């Protein structure tokens, strides 16, 4: 009997830290959004490896690969901000569909270019920039759609599950892409991307309409600045943006992966370098129930960003590919802890009528940092060498995160149980859910 109780206790412990997937069976539209992202994400991550690889093969230059980030930066900023304004003004499903259709067209362009005898370098930069613009356009609508289709209490679980939607492709895609590219080249890689976007569109067409809030604001520069003003008025939100921006800008090493694999005398490890971080993120996702018990989200984000910086710096010290991969796994785990708590703060405290615009700012905070990080890594490696760029980047991350945490006390002390914005949104969404239930019951009686 005691052995049985012991086993039950262990099982409860495992369940207590596991991932709650019940949302996928309970909420149809959430399931469709998850599935479409899973499918298109696989193709996108194969292309994520193929694009810089093709630039490296054509140029052999650190700087040329790093300039992919420069090509992506301006389109991402412009379309990310405007995409956020549109997400508060029009049907969010429609924007997601438009973005997915554009991505399909761009992947076809990459496929055509790859089949030329002499693929054009400028096409890679133009399409890379256009992809960034498309992601900026649809990203805010996707983020703003989630709080509309799941309940307030389910938002932490939704954040963890949507993390899984990104992590599976990021693990499988680069590893598969590395194998495909090393054997057959980039043409089959781009072909898979085309197929994945076509399948994703079929799934998205089945999602219900997601109209804007009743307090709709017409798209304009004034609406954009209203969102920026709201974000800048809240130190807790600014903390989520600035901490991640600093961590990614100073320590993101992905632009160096094609060269790092060569320096480690392990060219076959290229795909695994891209996937390693997401293995760590997946481990966090699969054990994410513990995050429901954490209420000081700001402190968790700061701690995660520091661990990220330490892990990247350590990765630069080792010459053994397995130790490097282990450090990258740790960095990915730390980064995803930050992702979960940042998304929870955003989803639980931002009013629906501002959700799209703030999602645009969020997109910039977690996308501009890595893109800028590519440029930083490429330029720094050209001066200090690859190892100096990686170790130095990790140390700069630690220093900047420490400095920011000292000047953002409200972010550092954020508590989801007592924060006035979180409490207000919880009450508003509870009232909205009660009203919807009464309307449904009234309709059933008739």
pLDDT tens across 246-299, in order?
Answer: 999 999 998 888 889 888 888 778 878 888 888 898 888 888 778 878 889 999
Confidence of residue 10 (pLDDT cuts 50, 70, 90): very low
Overall residue count recorded for the chain in this entry: 446
Class of residue 320 by CB neighbours under 10 A (exposed 0-12, middle 13-18, buried 19+) = exposed
Give the mean model confidence (pLDDT) for residues 144-169.
79
Give which of 167, 177, 155 is closest to 335, Cα–Cα: 167
Instruction: Give the global pTM.
Output: 0.70
Question: Quick one: pLDDT at residue 13?
Answer: 39
d(CA 162, CA 176): 21
Q: Which domains does the chain have, with CATH numbers?
A: 25-218+228-435 (1.20.1250.20)
Which of residues 398 and 63 earns the better pLDDT score? 398
220: three-class secondary structure by DSSP: coil
pLDDT for position 441:
65
Structure tokens belonging to residue 173 = 């895609």
The pLDDT mean for the chain works out to 84
Residue 9 is predicted with a pLDDT of: 40
CA geometry: angle at 375 spanning 340 and 191, to 5°?
Answer: 75
């Amino acid at each position: 009997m005691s052995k049985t109780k012991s086993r039950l206790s262990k099982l409860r412990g495992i369940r207590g830290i596991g991932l709650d997937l019940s949302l996928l069976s309970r909420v149809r539209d959430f399931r469709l959004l998850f599935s479409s992202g899973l499918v298109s994400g696989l193709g996108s991550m194969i292309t994520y490896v193929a694009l810089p690889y093709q630039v490296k093969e054509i140029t052999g230059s650190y700087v040329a690969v790093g300039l992919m980030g420069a090509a992506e930066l301006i389109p991402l900023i412009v379309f990310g901000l405007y995409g956020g304004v549109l997400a508060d003004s029009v049907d969010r499903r429609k924007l997601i569909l438009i973005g997915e259709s554009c991505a399909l067209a761009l992947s076809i362009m990459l496929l055509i270019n790859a089949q030329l005898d002499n693929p054009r370098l400028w096409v890679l930069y133009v399409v890379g920039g256009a992809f960034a613009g498309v992601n900026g356009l649809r990203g805010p609508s996707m983020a703003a759609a989630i709080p509309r289709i799941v309940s307030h209490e389910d938002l932490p679980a939704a954040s963890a599950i949507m993390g899984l939607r990104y992590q599976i492709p990021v693990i499988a895609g680069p590893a598969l892409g590395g194998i495909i590219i090393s054997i057959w080249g980039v043409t089959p890689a781009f072909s898979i991307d085309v197929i994945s976007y076509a399948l994703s569109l079929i799934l998205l067409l089945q999602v219900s309409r997601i109209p804007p809030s009743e307090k709709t604001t017409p798209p304009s520069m004034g609406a954009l600045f209203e969102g920026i003003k709201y974000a800048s008025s809240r130190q807790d939100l600014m903390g989520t943006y600035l901490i991640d921006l600093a961590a990614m800008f100073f320590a993101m090493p992905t632009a160096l992966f094609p060269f790092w694999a060569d320096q480690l005398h392990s060219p076959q490890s290229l795909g695994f370098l891209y996937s390693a971080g997401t293995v760590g993120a997946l481990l966090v996702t699969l054990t994410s129930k513990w995050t429901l018990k954490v209420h000081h989200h700001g402190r968790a984000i700061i701690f995660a960003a520091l661990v990220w910086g330490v892990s990247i710096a350590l990765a630069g010290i080792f010459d053994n590919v397995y130790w490097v991969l282990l450090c990258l796994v740790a960095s990915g785990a730390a980064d995803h802890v930050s992702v979960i708590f940042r998304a929870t703060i955003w989803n639980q405290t931002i009013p629906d009528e501002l959700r799209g615009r703030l999602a645009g700012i969020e997109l910039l905070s977690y996308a501009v940092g890595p893109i800028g990080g590519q440029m930083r890594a490429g330029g720094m490696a050209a001066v200090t060498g690859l190892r100096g760029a990686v170790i130095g980047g990790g140390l700069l991350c630690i220093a900047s995160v420490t400095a920011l945490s000292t000047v953002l006390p409200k972010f550092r002390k954020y508590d989801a149980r007592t924060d006035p914005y979180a409490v207000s949104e919880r009450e508003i969404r509870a009232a909205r859910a009660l009203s919807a239930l009464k309307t449904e019951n009234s309709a059933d009686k008739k």
